[in-house]
Amino acid sequence: MKEIKVLGAKNCSTCSNLTSDIESKIKELGTEAKVEKVTEIIEIMKFGVMQTPAIVVNGKVVIKGRMPTSEEILNILQN
């Protein structure tokens, strides 16, 4: 099972939308994944991320500083 972290500020609507989009795609694919939104700046910086939103999959940053497309989200979940 994949562990996905969405890195972003508490009040960031883009980050919240990204979390919802990922959860929606997980349901659409019928796959299993754990999704967590990380909002603490210290935790975000541990990943070397200076721009959010960012996506971390199994400990590896795969997207940072931008909102991915639906196709990119699907690729992340399928690979």
In the chain, the domains with their CATH numbers are 2-78 (3.40.30.10)
**What's the confidence (pLDDT) of residue 38?**
97
Q: Where in the sequence numbering do the catalytic residues fall?
A: 12, 15
Q: What is the mean pLDDT of each run of 10 residues along the chain (79 residues)?
A: 94 92 94 95 94 96 95 92
Torsion of CA 50, 54, 41, 15, to 10 degrees: 120
**What's the confidence (pLDDT) of residue 75?**
93
Q: Hey, what are 13's tokens? A: 């609507």
The answer to pTM > 0.85 is yes
